[in-house]
Amino acid sequence: PPPTPKKRRPPQSSSARTPMALEPVQVPDDAVFSSFRRQCESEEGWINKYSKSGVGVWIQQPSQDGNSGAVHKCKCTITIKDVAADTVYDVLHDGEYRTRWDHSAIETFDIARLTVNTDVGYYSWKCPNPLKNRDVVTLRSWLATSDDYVIINYSVKHPNYPPRKDRVRAVSHLAGYLVKPTGPCSCTLTYLAQVDPKGSLPKWFVNKASRLLAPKVLKKLYKACVKYPEWKNHHKPSFRPWLYPEQSTLPTISSSELAMQRGDSLENIDESRLSEVKEDQQDLSDEETTLLT
């Protein structure tokens, strides 16, 4: 009998050949900044976890919106009575100064800029033993107005900075700061984040993060703000590219060279059964800043 003819598969479209099309990156616009402000200032849906000495921590349970999955939001606020809002804003931007007070950082650097107020950068940090260290690549955008200062970021893919084998690539769905002046030398600082650490974390760390580490992070950041003016006077006092973009020496990059980073394309690490290493707690401050990436 004649041989049975082989069935030919229909040609695949380009989208069918690719497991997941790259999601384009959008530079935040005024609507995004306004939405972030509203989230920072809203009280609806937030559960208070800590409130003492001008510091507050709230948690919001996740909404299944298809993008952020089951990742909760965390919001932290601190009332600052003796530091101006613009100084706090400078501290949040100044990468060189961050290496002086953020002892959890392994590497932190800017990669390239997209616009006068948007760049992409890399940050990796130490996690408390025995958890694996994390890193992120984020697009960051900022806006200074007469009423407040806003910095927001979210995770992106950069072709030259793929996930590393020695670190877990976390995903920032949205994170940022809102600094609001309350007087010539006083302000409030709000940090809001929805960050997926890409893994099942042990309960001892989750509980400590909201009730112990987050307040200590804010207090440590406050101390850094108090010391910043004196430090800045001796370290390029006029260099502030976040205020004067003509000072920036970063190479430019197009948003078409980046793509959105979603958690479902990264490996999940199960660390839920790991026990806390007591002897590693000689100085919790080394790991506290993991919350403020």
Q: Which CATH number does the domain housing residue 85 bear?
A: 3.30.530.20
Residue 5 amino acid letter: P
Residue 206 forms part of a structural domain: yes
Q: Look up the domain containing 204 and give its range.
A: 47-60+72-102+142-152+165-252
Residue 2 forms part of a structural domain: no
pLDDT digits (tens, 9 = 90+) for 195-240: 887 666 655 555 555 555 677 888 899 999 999 999 999 999 999 9
Integer Cα distance of 168 and 185 in angstroms: 40
- What pLDDT, on the 0 to 100 scale, is given for residue 264? 72
Residue 95 forms part of a structural domain: yes
Residue 243 forms part of a structural domain: yes
pLDDT digits (tens, 9 = 90+) for 57-111: 999 887 655 554 567 888 999 999 999 999 999 999 999 999 899 888 899 999 9
Give the 3-state secondary structure of residue 19: coil
Domain count of the fold of the chain: 1
Residues 133-155 have a mean pLDDT of 95
* Average pLDDT across the chain, whole number: 82
Integer Cα distance of 116 and 27 in angstroms: 11
- What pLDDT, on the 0 to 100 scale, is given for residue 206? 56
Q: 73-80 and 105-115 as β-strands: parallel, antiparallel, unpaired?
A: unpaired
Residue 203 forms part of a structural domain: yes
- What pLDDT, on the 0 to 100 scale, is given for residue 285? 41
What percentage of the chain reaches a pLDDT higher than 90?
57
Residue 27 forms part of a structural domain: no
Lowest-pLDDT choice from 104-118, 122-136, 160-174, 183-197: 122-136
Q: Which position has the token pair 């003492």?
A: 52
Question: Among residues 184, 125, 122, which one has the least CA distance to residue 153?
Answer: 122
Residue 15 forms part of a structural domain: no
Give the 3-state secondary structure of residue 190: strand
pLDDT digits (tens, 9 = 90+) for 15-66: 333 344 568 899 999 999 999 999 999 999 999 988 998 999 999 887 655 5
Instruction: Say which residues have a Cβ less than 8 Å from residue 138's Cβ, sequence separation at least 6.
Output: 120, 121, 123, 153, 154, 155, 156, 172, 175, 293
Integer Cα distance of 140 and 113 in angstroms: 9
What percentage of the chain reaches a pLDDT higher than 70?
74
Task: Examine residue 24 and say whether the peptide bond preceding it is cis (omega within 30 degrees of 0).
Answer: no
Give the 3-state secondary structure of residue 77: strand
Residue 292 banded pLDDT, cuts 50, 70, 90: very low
Residue 137 forms part of a structural domain: no
Q: Give the burial string for 255-282 (b: 16+ CB within 10 Å, else e).
A: beebbbbbbeebeeeebeebeeeeeeee
Residues 179-199 have a mean pLDDT of 90
As to burial, measured by CB atoms within 10 angstroms (0-12 exposed, 13-18 middle, 19+ buried), residue 216 is middle
Q: Which pTM was predicted?
A: 0.81
